Structures are given as C-alpha cells and as structure tokens.
Chains A and B, each alone.
Chain A
Amino acid sequence: MGRLDLEHLSLAYAQRGGTFLALSAVNLSIRDGEFVTIVGPSGCGKSTLLMLIAALLQPTSGAVRLDGRVVTAPGPDRALVFQDFALLPWRTVLANVELGLELKGVPAQKRSEIARRHIAMVGLGAFERSYPHQLSGGMRQRVGIARALAVEPQVLLMDEPFGALDAQIRQVMGSELLRIWERGRKTILFVTHDIDESIYLADRIIVMSASPGRVIADIAVTLQRPRPLEIRNDPAFTAYRQRIWDLLQQEVLASNSWEQSAAEPAAAMPAGAAT
C-alpha cells in the first residue's frame, strides 16, 4: 500500500564551527491514499525531508518506514517529481516516461504501453515524440508527473513541483493533479512554500519551521472534494490561510532578516544528492 512512518527523523550537516541541524526529530505518520502537503519557509528542511524519504539522503538518526519496512535505498516504490523537472533532454517524452520502467527492468513492449497510458493521462498524447526543449514548463512537469506515476509507486513525493511555473499555470496544474489523484488515490507528499496551494490540494497540511527544521502544526483540511478553483474564496479556505499565515509569520519574518539569511546554509538541497 502506501503508508509512511517517519520516526524521530533528524539530519545534521557538518559545518564550519559545528554542526547544522537541518531536521530535528520529525515524527509523522501518513495513511495510505492521503494527500499531505508540507508548507514552510525556505530553509525549513521540507525538501530535505522528501530526499530522506526517497533515500537520496541518509538521516543522521531515526528511520523512514514504508508499509512497515525501513527504507534504505532509492527505489520506484517512492517516485519523485522535481521542481526543475529533471527530464533527460536527449530523450523524447515517451523515452523520458519510460526511464523509471527501464530501471525497474520492465520489458520494452510493456514499457512503452505503460508509458503511453500515463502520457495520455496527463494530456500529452500528441507529444510523445517531442523533446523536452520543445515543451512549455507546464508540459514538462506533466512529463515529470507521468514518469513518476508510470512506475506505480506506493508514494508520490513532489518537491515544489509547480514552483517554476507561472501563477495561472500553477493553479491549473494543481487541479489537474487532484483530478489524477482522485482516480488512483495514491499517497502523495507534496512540498510547497505556497500556502494557498498547500490548502487547495491537501487532506492534511504539515507546517514546518526553520533552524532546526521541525513540524509545528498538523492541520486536517475538511474542505469538500472535488474542489473547484474558486474554493480559494470560500470563507473556510480563507480561515485555513489565516491560520497557516499566523503560524508562519514569525518564521518568514525571521528567515527574511539579514542576520538569519547569512547564518543559514546556502544549500537547502544537500549537495550530497548530486553524486
């Protein structure tokens, strides 16, 4: 299935003059099929948390469990969608979506069949043969989503997936994502710094704070589904927005001050993920 348990998860970096605690004792349980958003100021370790679940990073202490098993290495049971899309420019849309299936060892025939189905699902059926540089940002991220879903993961990890898109496209992509999610109800962990986005998508919002990164609130969202885009003007929605903004206000102001940003490490995305 897709139940995630984060047990006392911490990550510390060695740094000049000591260690920097990126994440401090995060405990979190996510039910199968739950759509959870993680919101917080930049540098709060929300992306780091995803990298730990993906096992692209190893925690200093604590463990990630997927359906009870401790996660130790990256794998197709947890598929990532990246802010920078991370598509391979020499591959067509079809071949990009096949990447995860290739690495999973799915035979060629089956691979293109599965890939085609997922490309159609994200509405890019006419672009199978196109290269990423021929697509708009929104279309590229649709490819990223199709690639992640094609491996049939237990959990979908989305790291600010719409962060590089225009505001309007962003909203459209959000409602598209919900439409896709409604079909399969896969567990989704969605990191964002956009408060509205975090409310609109979620069953549950995890609010994080910075230095060290930790969970400061766990809010259940009871807005009805399916959600129209106009739900953002609903009084209930506005109340959530106010509540999260109140929680984050201190944080955002603090992390925006000169001293704080100088003290913070430049890389919220650990360099270790690169090599």
Chain B
Amino acid sequence: MSVVAQTPIGTGLTWRSLARHRSARTIVGCAAVALFLVAWQIVGANEIIRSDLISYPSEVAETLISMTASGELGGNLAVSLEEFVQGFVPAIGIGVAAGIAFALSRRLHYLFEPLIVALNTSPIIAFVPIVVVWFGVGTQSKAIMVFLAAVIPIVINTMTGITQVHESWIRACRAFGASKFEVIVKAMLPGALPSVMVGVRLAVGRAIVGLIAAEMYVSVHGIGRLIQVYSTSERAAEIFVLVAVVATFGFLLVTLLRRLESLIAPWSLER
C-alpha cells in the first residue's frame, strides 16, 4: 500500500527503496518465505525427494492440527514453558545481581571472571548428563539447564553495561551530592539497562537450546522429548511441527523483549 505511494514513479522496487521502506522489506521477506514454501510443497508432495524424509508444508500443517487437537502439543508445550520460566526468571534476577556485583567489586571480578569465561566458551549442553544425574529426569534438571545457559550472557552483558556507563552521568550525579548508592541507582543501573536487555535477548536462544537438549537427552514430557521420540520413528512432519513451535516461541519472546526495551529505554536506540 504505502510502498506504491512512497516509491517514486519509474524507480520501481530497488534495493535502495527497500532500505528505506519498512513495509516494503516486510513484503519482500514474506514473498521469499512463500516462494520457499511453494518449492518445498512441490518437491515433497510429488516425491521428487522422499517425503518421509523432508515432508511438505501441507502435511506439516495437517500434522500441526492433529497434534494440537489430540492435546499432545499443548500438554508438552506447557511442560516445556514451565521449565523455561522456572530457569529463566531466576537467571535474570541472579544474572543481573551478579553482573552488578562483579562490575562494582574488583575482587569478585577477579575471583569469578575465569569461571564465567570458561562457562561462556564451553558448550552448555555438555552439562546435560551431569545435571540429570544431580537433579533427576524430571522438570527440575531442565530448569537448571535453562538457568545455566541463560545466566552467563546476562551476567556478562550486565557487567559490560555497568563498566561502560558514561563517566559524565556519574559526574553529574556526584556534583549534585549523590552518595555511592545513589550513583548506582540513578546513573549506573539505568545506564546499563540497554546492555542488560541485550544479554537477556541472547539468553533466550541459549536457554532454548539448553532446554531442548536436556529434554531430548532424557525426560518424560516436553517438546524436546517429542522431538526425540519422533526422530527414532523417522517422522519428519512431526519434527518440523515441533521445530516450528520452538522457533516461534523464541521469535515471539525476543520480539516482546525488543518492544519492552523500546518502552523502558527508548534512548538506547539513538544514543
């Protein structure tokens, strides 16, 4: 709609106009996805490639409907969501608190930095077996995995945010007689908020990986459990449904966090 109106006559849809028009970008993006789906449908439905290996969109859609109708999807999704929340919420609280402490205390920083770097660079799913041994096959071990995966990027980005707070913001507060505590509350925390939000967004992806990996390893319920079950029975359509559900969840959560950020820290976008 607005694309047509805003594009000068004769120039058509160029890359430059794409960069300018948000709605045009969305339309082109959707068109690419649609093209892909059509191609997939043709290749899969006509058995150009074995459909039990790659399935095809209409079969995936039917499977989504039947899995939803049977309650299989909803029940397992509820379990996964619960595990996610149980791990992610404490990860934000503890991660932010630890990040602040590490940024403000040189001693704590020196003490914990090697551990954080080690955890940050090691694949978190390697911890699944030991976490299961410690916390059992139930939801607790999954929440712990979510926590472990999420807490590291939150700690690191909170630390970075605090240490990169502009000297001038601190100076302004001090000049008007702010105490050390007031400097933290009025300059450091709000100044670090955009960086904290970056950490939380990064943590979403990592937490989902930790959760699904833990559920796939051993569990009774959950999306990861279903993926594992259907992979042994070679059911491509079901696996695609489950992957799509996980991807949608991650996408929605990150989008929500971006919205939240533009509400609580509108300045960070144009600093």
Interface residues of A (CB under 8 A from B): 54, 56, 73-76, 79-80, 82, 84-90, 99-100, 102-104, 131-133, 151, 273-275
Contacts and interface: CB of A to CB of B under 8 A. Distances in A.
A107 B154 CA distance: 35
Given A74-B176, A75-B177, A103-B178, A89 B271 contact: yes
A143 to B, nearest CB: 11
A76 B172 CA distance: 11
A274 B266 CA distance: 26
A104 B172 contact: no
Contact of A275 (B170, B178, B182, B191): B170
B177 A86 contact: no
Nearest to B265: A90
Given A84-B168, A88-B169, A88-B190, A151 B267 contact: no
B98 interface: no
A132 B173 CA distance: 16
Given A99-B186, A103-B177, A103-B178, A86 B271 contact: no
Contacts, number: 72
A84 B187 CA distance: 16
B107 interface: no
Given A76-B177, A99-B186, A133 B270 contact: yes
Contacts of B173: 99, 103
B180 to A, nearest CB: 10
B162 interface: no
Contact of B174 (A56, A85, A88): A56
A89 B268 CA distance: 8
Q: Identify whether the interface residues of B are mostly helix, strand, loop, or mixed.
A: helix
A134 B209 CA distance: 40
Given A90-B190, A90-B191, A131-B267, A99 B172 contact: yes
A273 B170 CA distance: 9
Contacts of A151: 176
Given A82-B168, A274-B171, A90 B267 contact: yes
Interface string B146-183: 00000000000000000000011111111111100010
Interface of B: 167-178, 182, 186-187, 190-191, 193, 265-268, 270-271
A120 B163 CA distance: 36
A39 to B, nearest CB: 22
A79 B267 contact: no
Nearest to B178: A103
B176 A79 contact: yes
B267 A89 contact: yes
Contact of A104 (B167, B177, B186, B267): B177
Contacts of B265: 90
29 contacts: A54-B175, A56-B174, A73-B177, A74-B177, A79-B175, A80-B175, A84-B168, A86-B168, A86-B171, A86-B175, A87-B172, A88-B169, A88-B187, A88-B190, A89-B267, A90-B268, A99-B172, A99-B173, A99-B176, A99-B186, A103-B173, A103-B176, A103-B177, A103-B182, A104-B176, A131-B267, A133-B267, A273-B174, A274-B171
Given A82-B172, A90-B193, 11 more contacts: A56-B175, A76-B177, A79-B175, A84-B168, A86-B172, A88-B190, A102-B186, A103-B173, A131-B267, A273-B174, A274-B167
